[in-house]
Chains A and B, each alone.
Chain A
Amino acid sequence: MSNKVAVFRKEHFNAAHRLHNPGWDENKNNAVFGKCNNPNFHGHNYDLIVKVVGEIDPETGFLIDMKVLSDMIRENVLEKFDHKNLNLDTPEFENLNPTAENIAMVIYNILRKKLDEKLYLQIRLYETERNFVEYPAN
């Protein structure tokens, strides 16, 4: 039997965004993105669940120190996205539509670089209580 365990850290941030493809005209943007294309933006309370999987360190009993994980998420993700406009304030979305799918991938790529490569990482991002995405999917 595998010795692997999963730990989860739940965080949240509030942000404005708009879904818009600058390569399309307004009619097509409205047809595809509907009210999410509003040029004055709208916003969400995002809930973020970071899942880390690996083996327990026998000396500490930890998979990862949750305080270390919490600080890593705060410094690299929350300070970048919380109370921000994802289209205007975060360079990651300068040329990328800030859909929940893309936000989850961006968060994964940021944290993947910070986390010990022995540990598996998965991001779950809730845009609303009823809409959420996971990356990577498997």
Chain B
Amino acid sequence: MVYLTRIEHFNAAHKLYNPGWSREKNEEVFGKCANENWHGHNYELYVTIKGVVNPDTGFLYDAKKLSIIIKENILDKLDHKNLNVEVDFLKDKMCSTENLAEGIWKQLEKALPTEVKLHSIKLYETPRIYVEYFGD
């Protein structure tokens, strides 16, 4: 078994705000992340797939094809976007890094060929905060 990781990045605006709560409660729980006018991040995304090497190509999977799948299914939807307002797969969800990592996993799982197994999504919100999701 080998693991292959593709690193990508995107910039986006978001806020942490639960519409079912009062503004006071949102500010108490989410602090400055609840700013109604949004704030933003440079996100770094690590997509890791796993499997056995194809003896004919020497590849686990063509890294260029993986890059195109990530671009079309993830980056085109997230980069330079407002995560709360513009992303179909985050609709009605809190825009936390945890939910974003889980959402990215689900999008990629659908888009990747069945022989390619996702191992993990690692998503940095800042250089010091990241989330990992392994699909379980």
Contacts and interface: CB of A to CB of B under 8 A. Distances in A.
Contact-size category for B? 20 to 34
Given A45-B127, A82-B32, A84-B37, A40 B85 contact: yes
| Chain B residues touching A, majority SS | strand
A35 B11 CA distance: 11
B72 interface: no
A9 interface: no
A124 interface: no
Given A16-B13, A35-B79, A35-B80, A42 B40 contact: yes
Interface residues of A, number: 22
B117 interface: no
Contacts of A45: 40-42, 126-127
Interface string A119-132: 00000000011000
Contact of A43 (B41, B85, B86, B127): B41
25 contacts: A14-B41, A15-B40, A16-B39, A17-B40, A35-B80, A38-B81, A40-B13, A41-B40, A41-B82, A43-B38, A43-B39, A43-B40, A43-B41, A44-B41, A45-B40, A45-B126, A45-B127, A85-B35, A85-B37, A85-B38, A85-B39, A88-B37, A89-B35, A89-B37, A128-B42
